[in-house]
Chain A
Amino acid sequence: MRAAHLFLAQRISAIILAPLVLVHLGLIVYAMRGGLSAAEILARTQGSALWAAFYGLFVVAAAVHAAIGVRTMIAESFGWRGRMLDGLTLAVGLGLFGLGARAVAAVVL
């Protein structure tokens, strides 16, 4: 039951994303209002297993969640089905994961 598995994957990724997004937004406010420079931010994130795990999980959950959401929108808006839709879902998921992983690597490595 692929539809059921995709549904569950999107719900679970949403549950994971909800607290992560709140922490992420709080972090942005803290960093900007606190006046942290890029160098000060990098000093806190580089080599940190905690931030690597936090944003690594964020990227995986976002890639899964958004890819399934885009899949639904494309199917309902343009009537795509079958392999073309599967290919698009995979491409969006891998694309978002690649972009996100690159960004995480840039701040934690």
Chain B
Amino acid sequence: MDGTLRVRIWKGGADGALRTFEVPHRANQTVLDVVTWVQRNRDPALAYRFACRVGMCGSCAMTVNGVPRWTCRTHVSRVVRGDALTIEPLRNLPVIKDLACDMTPFFEKWQAAHGRFVPTAGRTDPPVRMAPDSPHRRAVDAGIECINCAVCHAACDVVAWNPDYLGPAALNRAWTLHNDIRDGARAARLRAVAGDGGCTNCHSHQACMQVCPKALNPTAAIAGLKRAVAGAVLRGRL
């Protein structure tokens, strides 16, 4: 494949601007390939983040033609409009420089939602038996493949409107742990996700589900948390 892409890339911090580069269009070229080509051949100071290049680490997410995507697995041919590509940092996170965002608020919300496993057994205890087809295990399976790329966080309108909202990724994580029968902090976690910035803020727009590169459905996870919270309130546990 020949030709030239006209690529507009965000340069600077929050008050930066788009700068246009001409990039050779190749077959099987990913958006991350384009950004890397620009850094190596046109703008060595261009800041961006990546690690694995194979869709595992979740570090290369950017906004491509207005939609948040994992750039290492996004082929240019799938998203290019004519010969134009616009690449910006993720929405809903502070911009450090160019295409690199500060992920601190994202992971702070992960912590605020008690997104860590709290074991109830020690290393000398026998492993807990959990049937693969049990409802709890299936609920965990549905959300466990999250790679923390923050694509859903960037796509979520409620995060944009309410900076305190924990967001789809943190709540999806909370839901997987809520269904983990080995976990010992489910009551505290449910209280954490039932608060002012919690799951009840979700409007079920499902943008998170639409953009998730791992095809997860955080909206369904949040709906599960809403049911759990409502049940806890009715039983007087919240």
A26 and B158 CA atoms in complex are apart in Å by 36
Cβ contacts under 8 Å, B186 to chain A: none
In the complex, how many angstroms separate the beta carbon of A96 from the nearest chain B beta carbon? Answer: 22
Q: Across the two chains, which residue of chain A brings its CB closest to B163? A: A79
Interface residues of A in 1-31 (CB under 8 A from B): 1-8, 11
A1 touches B238 (CB 8 A): yes
**A77 on interface, CB distance cutoff 8 Å:** yes
Cβ contacts under 8 Å, B230 to chain A: 4, 7-8, 11
Q: Across the two chains, which residue of chain A brings its CB closest to B232? A: A4
Cβ contacts under 8 Å, A91 to chain B: none
Number of A-B contacts (CB under 8 A): 38
Cβ contacts under 8 Å, A77 to chain B: 161
Which among A1, A72, A75 is the interface contact of B233 at CB below 8 angstroms?
A1
**A40 on interface, CB distance cutoff 8 Å:** no
A3 touches B161 (CB 8 A): no
A76 touches B195 (CB 8 A): no
Which among B162, B198, B226, B234 is the interface contact of A75 at CB below 8 angstroms?
B162
In the complex, how many angstroms separate the beta carbon of B186 from the nearest chain A beta carbon? Answer: 15
Cβ contacts under 8 Å, B234 to chain A: 8
B229 touches A7 (CB 8 A): yes
B233 touches A4 (CB 8 A): yes
B229 touches A4 (CB 8 A): yes
Q: Across the two chains, which residue of chain A brings its CB closest to B234? A: A8
Question: Can you list 7 pairs linking A and B with CB atoms under 8 Å apart?
Answer: A1-B191, A1-B195, A1-B233, A1-B238, A6-B200, A7-B200, A8-B234
Which B positions have Cβ atoms within 8 angstroms of A? 158, 161-162, 191, 194-196, 198, 200-201, 226, 229-230, 232-234, 238
The 6 closest A-B pairs by CB, nearest first: A7-B200, A76-B161, A4-B194, A1-B238, A1-B194, A4-B229
Q: Contacts A1-B194, A7-B229, A11-B230 given; 19 further ones with Cβ under 8 A?
A: A1-B191, A1-B229, A1-B233, A1-B238, A2-B196, A3-B194, A3-B196, A3-B198, A4-B194, A4-B200, A4-B229, A4-B230, A4-B232, A4-B233, A7-B200, A7-B230, A8-B230, A75-B162, A76-B161
